[in-house]
Amino acid sequence: MRVLPVVCILLFFCSTTPASFAATDTILAGQALDINDKLVSKNGRYALGFFKGRGKSSESTTNWYLGIWFNTVRKFTSAWVANRDKPIKNTTSLEFTLSIDGNLVILNPSTKSIIWSTTAKNRRNSTIAMLSNSGNLILTDYSNSSEVLWQSFDHPTDTFFPGAKLGLDKVTGLNRRIVSWKNLVNPASGAYHFELDPSGINQLLLLSLNLSVPYWSSGVWNGKYFASIPEMTSDHPIFSSTFVDNDQEKYFTYNLVHENMVTRHVIDVSGQTKTFIWLEDSQDWTMIYAQPKAQCDVYAICGAFTTCTDNVVPHCNCMEGFTITSPEDWELEDRSGGCSRITQLDCTSNKSTTHTTDKFYSVPCVRSPQDNPKVEAARSAGECAQVCLNNCSCTAYSFGYSGCSIWYNELLNVRQLQCSDTANSSEETIFLRLSAKDVQSLKNNRRGTVVGAVTGAGIFVLCLLALILSLMIWRNKRKSSGHISNVFQGCSGIIAFRYNDLQGATKKFTDKLGEGSFGSVFKGFINDSIAIAVKRLDGAYQGEKEFRAEVNSIGVIQHINLVNLVGFCCDGSKRLLVYEYMPNHSLDVHLFRGNSMVLNWTARYRIALGVARGLAYLHESCRDCIIHCDIKPENILLDASFLPKIADFGMAKLLGRDFSRVLTTMRGTAGYLAPEWISGVAITPKVDVYSYGMVLLEIISGRRNTCTTCSSNDNLDVYFPVHAAHKLLEGDMESLLDHMLHGDVNLDEAELVCKVACWCIQDDEFDRPTMGEVVQILEKLVEIRMPPIPRLLQAMAGSSSSICS
């Protein structure tokens, strides 16, 4: 899929979509749209008219705008606003018409005053205005409709329309760029914009509008795609892209491959470019792409004197000693105002640079801002602090391996990290300059917290002593019951279990569910009723601190198609993981073992789609891309509703060693390994795509790929993927289907799954789709063409003795 890092924002307004009195796409001389009318493009996709914006809660005024919105979706979704920076306040009467000089204008009917106007230079009184099928409002001469006098595509707001141009008109100097909204309800020009690199390099940039600071780039256009967006090379595109550079223009544009698809490309108030597709089934927009992926990569997203934390909500928090400057703007996701000091620094009133009562407050486990820190020649942290105190503009310092770094004035882009208890080159402690009063107040709060904690702990201990007496009696009676005590009930987050408790919960690891590449899995119970699955890891070489840190990082990854990590145990050399229990076991049990319930085709298709969604999340939506490296039916678990959940993701981190060494010793996974993995080439997420394709073939056939199959024309044993690829080309899907389905299969879906599988197992990883593209194909949002037979499989098929080894 050619996914573009393009721009716009979904806005919600308090009014409903304006009603139309006539379905027309053109305004002629003498005609006018009033506040209740609208133009509609011939294809019905876009509408233009007046709409009412919802202002801040503190404002009593009503703001009116003239704009273009998506007419075929149920959610009011603005795409272009004429008067974004000049709202029309408190009115019930407006007109949109052609003026005498041929320009489009918004008029106040009572005063005949012009509120907004187009800027066509070739003025004439024979113009007409038309809303095109592409969403472009065009002003042209009715006698020569090919002559464009003015168009909305030359003045975009926050949406990049298909067919529009992003770039420079070298003749007129017009620069078409996309600018975010001020906040969720105010369409005024916001803090971020998206444009061609003004330095002349053929790449797209995301920049902070006020400071012109780039924080993301597309990479240079190489004639086919932008270097940092390899998704544009997909064999299953939904967009076709073009980059033009000649004497008159330099621009980037795109078009939809499937005209009936409704998409939005936006630059959000978050500073991220996002791509959405409208899904009729859910009646909602679904985001399929965002850049940058980490919210905290956006420049100054939280404003001054804040910390930004990825993968949590809210992302932004004020530093200690500061408070939100504008809570109302903050709630509308406009954080540009940042946070302000609770108490002003002493040095602002005390002009002496040799004495100040200001103090420093430590902010640990952060990635310090890289915005031009001044490096001073201080030999110790004390000297570094004094350098900062000697200048009233100094707001923070840090001292470490790189020496003494000083920051002046506003402190931007401080990123909060998870304290790992290990040496981490990205972690720093910065010392924030505060008034002595605020520092003392923070220390008192800490002291009060400690005192409260100690007091509470004392009361808790007294109660616990009484409880222990009861528990000792209870435990003697239940010593061999094999269940975990209630002290774990109600805990949130990742639970640290004791080894003895897990040993009891699993009846000394006797109820074995299975054995995988990383160890054995046992069934257990918490508090008599809550089933758990306990994985006892083999060969985990990490120390306790490192293991705990990695468990926490894996534990925050949540998705409906990923197995939920409940807790862990780290006792000496013992390493165990505790997962939610999947009552319907793993996929291989149902596909390959005759004594289990046969999965019908609907369940199989849902499993295929669910696994694709889970992998797409690991590859594309986590802060760091996670490559599973061991996708196979044994690692696809099924819950009570047969919803698929991927197990064993993130195991490379938990084992603490080179994952390639792990895979060389894996048992039962050779049939799922991509060619580049076996050849020793550095791996990418495409190894998971290959393994997923192999799993799809097993879902179709209900048999192991590593088993042999007999051709209908001869008695030669043929590797099933070879057999499947040929039968797909011959149009014979029925012969590939699991006979246990008894023909009760949607053949169109079966063919679609087989096509996806054969694309996934292509020899060259660049020929394989991404998992995000696979999801869209299986959701039937994009079409897929017939795949070629992979060269390696073709070679196998050419041999009379081609069998799976």
Annotated binding site for ATP: 535
Q: What is the DSSP letter of 621?
A: I
d(CA 573, CA 575): 6
d(CA 128, CA 97): 10
Q: Do residues 359 and 210 touch, judged by C-beta distance below 8 A?
A: no
Q: Provide CB contacts within 8 A for 594, sequence distance 6+.
A: none
State both tokens at 741: 């389905």
Angle subtended by helix axes 720-730 and 747-760, to nearest 10:
130
Helices (H), 262-409: 327-331, 381-389
Q: Are strands 565-571 and 495-496 parallel, antiparallel or unpaired?
A: parallel
Q: Do residues 407 and 399 touch, judged by C-beta distance below 8 A?
A: no
SS3 call for 645: strand
Name the phi and psi angles at 712, rounded to 5.
Answer: -75, -15
Catalytic (active site) residue 624: no
Q: Do residues 552 and 494 touch, judged by C-beta distance below 8 A?
A: yes
341: nearest Cα among 289, 304, 394: 304
430: nearest Cα among 369, 357, 476: 369
d(CA 257, CA 1): 10
SS3 call for 542: coil
State both tokens at 300: 């100054």
243: nearest Cα among 196, 199, 187, 193: 196
Name the phi and psi angles at 495, rounded to 5.
Answer: -95, 135
SS3 call for 799: coil
Q: Which of 346, 630, 648, 738 is catalytic?
A: 630
SS3 call for 388: helix
Q: Do residues 235 and 759 touch, judged by C-beta distance below 8 A?
A: yes
Q: Provide CB contacts within 8 A for 783, sequence distance 6+.
A: 236, 258, 777
Q: Provide CB contacts within 8 A for 412, sequence distance 6+.
A: 299, 300, 303, 304, 338, 369, 371
Q: Residues comprising the binding site?
A: 535
SS3 call for 87: coil
d(CA 371, CA 721): 54
Q: Is residue 341 classed exposed, middle or buried when 0-12, 13-18 and 19+ CB atoms within 10 A define those classes?
A: middle
Which residue(s) pair with 255 in the sheet?
240
Q: Is residue 395 classed exposed, middle or buried when 0-12, 13-18 and 19+ CB atoms within 10 A define those classes?
A: buried
Q: Provide CB contacts within 8 A for 799, sequence distance 6+.
A: none
State both tokens at 607: 């499993």
**What H or E segment, with its residue span, contains residue 520?**
strand 519-526
Q: Do residues 777 and 696 touch, judged by C-beta distance below 8 A?
A: no
> CA torsion 233→235→236→238, rounded to 10°?
40
SS3 call for 389: helix
Which residue(s) pair with 277 in the sheet?
263, 286
SS3 call for 636: strand
Q: What angle do CA 742, 745, 750 make, to 5 degrees?
A: 125
Q: Do residues 402 and 357 touch, judged by C-beta distance below 8 A?
A: no
Which residue(s) pair with 129 in the sheet?
27, 139
SS3 call for 474: helix
Q: Which amino acid is at 449?
A: T
Show which residues are catalytic.
630
